[in-house]
A and B are shown apart, each in its own frame.
Chain A
């Protein structure tokens, strides 16, 4: 059976390749893993330092300021509920995972998006790659990550980053490239430098689009972080995965409830932030 041999040879080649890559790239992977876990650890440490009630009240206050008292009360109650379910540690782990992956996605994706917005050629090159990332099932990204970074949060964050990065890149590029011509002309005619045109004209016009991208990235990250429970990410995802395996359905439902309320809170907060303050309609005088 020639085709079976073929597949065996293919698998063997992959194994050899993996060994080669991990032998030669070991330091690089160790560094990457260190960076990812370091960032995650720092955020987690910060969140863990704050008592659950204080964090609940802080998020509630933020919600109250941005969206009114109803949402503020809902946000506080949601976080308190997570603690009441006995899932506070997992909740802040999930938050730390989402925040570290999203921060990476925003910094790196935003940067790439800006360049893609300024260079149609780069945008044309990136588009199929981003489309492919979004087309493939997110589950797949755990494979290369676990092969090189091993079991743990680093893998979860890397895979989550890959899933979360396309919306930020796409919507940043879109926002930056769609500056109305007359405003670019205004910049040039006023004697603005390239950087000034970017920071004073392109960026303010792109802000709404960029923030919409950040919101989408955040939501993608949330979805992926839960899936990443199976690679030992920690947090609510792992709780669900573990309790399903032991048929502890009640506990998995608890964790699911925590995930749902957390998602709603973060989505609403980041969506509101997507409407830049300066473009609001109220008079300032």
Chain B
């Protein structure tokens, strides 16, 4: 994929966060004898919020962290802008270790590089929508006319320019969250941290905002870390998804990878209810060319990125009930009605072949 070549914005290496009075002892034990979560709780009465998290986020990537409450996802996202100090491990933003930053550099990092959107929105009640959207710029000392111009532009991007002079309480929940997003992008940060921003919204508004958010983030070329407890949301929004449980990242991968190869029973149970129609792509379904008896050249062709939904339509339309998968002029494989059914059921052609 092309993304792999782009710049790494966030680099988390073996990050731990331990809460409790004897956190220092617990960390020493983790460091020296590799104590685990359970031992830390038993021996030191400390709670492990985040255990040994390692991941990288590249420029332009939307990275979703999915987990239930108490899984450590909110702690993890706060480690990324050092609202919470990591107990162990290293977090680098654009190659700079944030644990070693002084207050001034850290403030500058938060003001210019990392925007944040909160579940509670946190719009200041006495300020107009415009002044709320301009808050980050105001903190940076940008002049009034200039920051209002930029904030109005940000509001226009989320479709709220008509509401600039209203107060937050006059807006619906979905609109308020849009203002929160406008506030985050007004400072033009490379990274946006989204802490369960849409969790409190109605399902319909929520889906609308998810699509808008993805479009906006992609069009601006921002990276985002998106926290959610909703796997559907993670799959809709994320380029890659990390599943967290008890402070550990138990799996990181694309939606397709997670659905097709759940790392353990916990993940498998989560993805059981997820519709595969749009997640499973031709390249993971197709049969090798040698396994197809008929003449491949006559088949209609489609790309390896075509999803099951599209494949069903193609296969139904083809008299041979099969479609060839090709990258440019190179034939890669064949999808038949049989492989499609297997794909929907959750069995891969590759596994079957073995």
Contact = CB atoms under 8 A, between A and B. Distances in A.
Contacts of A279: 125-126
Interface stretch (B161-169, B203-211, B227-235): B161-169
B108 A191 contact: yes
A183 interface: yes
Contact of B166 (A180, A191, A204, A285): A285
Nearest to B120: A182
A170 to B, nearest CB: 23
A188 B110 contact: yes
Nearest to A197: B139
Nearest to B165: A285
B259 interface: no
A278 B193 CA distance: 30
B16 to A, nearest CB: 22
A273 B154 CA distance: 35
Contacts of B167: 281, 283-284
A200 interface: yes
Interface string A35-57: 00000000000000000000000
A201 B136 CA distance: 12
Interface string B92-132: 00000000000000111111101010101010111110000
A116 B187 CA distance: 34
A182 B166 contact: no
B166 A284 contact: yes
A189 interface: yes
Nearest to A278: B126
A185 to B, nearest CB: 6
B169 A200 contact: no
Contacts of A119: none
Contacts of A204: 124, 126
Interface in B267-301: none
A217 to B, nearest CB: 23
Nearest to A188: B83
A206 B125 CA distance: 12
B185 to A, nearest CB: 13
A279 to B, nearest CB: 5
A190 B124 contact: no
Contacts of B169: 281
A186 B111 contact: no
A25 interface: no
Contact of B81 (A182, A189, A276, A283): A189
A187 B166 CA distance: 22
A23 interface: no
Chain B interface size band reads 20 to 34
Contacts of B118: 182, 185-186
B170 interface: yes
A22 B109 CA distance: 58
B83 A185 contact: yes
B181 to A, nearest CB: 13
Contact of B139 (A182, A190, A276): A190
B257 interface: no
Interface in A167-213: 180, 182-183, 185-193, 196, 200-201, 204
A191 B140 contact: yes
B198 interface: no
A47 to B, nearest CB: 33
B126 A191 contact: no
A189 B191 CA distance: 12
Interface in B236-254: none
A188 B114 CA distance: 11
B116 A189 contact: yes
A192 B140 CA distance: 8
A191 B135 CA distance: 11
A183 B124 contact: yes
B122 A183 contact: yes
Given A191-B109, A201-B124, A276-B126, 6 more contacts: A183-B124, A187-B139, A191-B107, A200-B135, A281-B167, A283-B167
29 contacts: A182-B122, A183-B124, A185-B122, A186-B116, A188-B110, A189-B83, A189-B110, A189-B114, A190-B135, A190-B136, A191-B106, A191-B107, A191-B108, A191-B110, A191-B111, A191-B112, A191-B139, A192-B107, A200-B135, A200-B139, A204-B124, A276-B126, A279-B125, A279-B126, A283-B166, A284-B165, A284-B166, A285-B164, A285-B165
> When A and B form their complex, which 10 residue pairs have the shortest distance between CB atoms, in order from nearest?
A191-B111, A285-B165, A191-B110, A278-B126, A189-B116, A191-B107, A182-B122, A182-B120, A186-B122, A192-B139
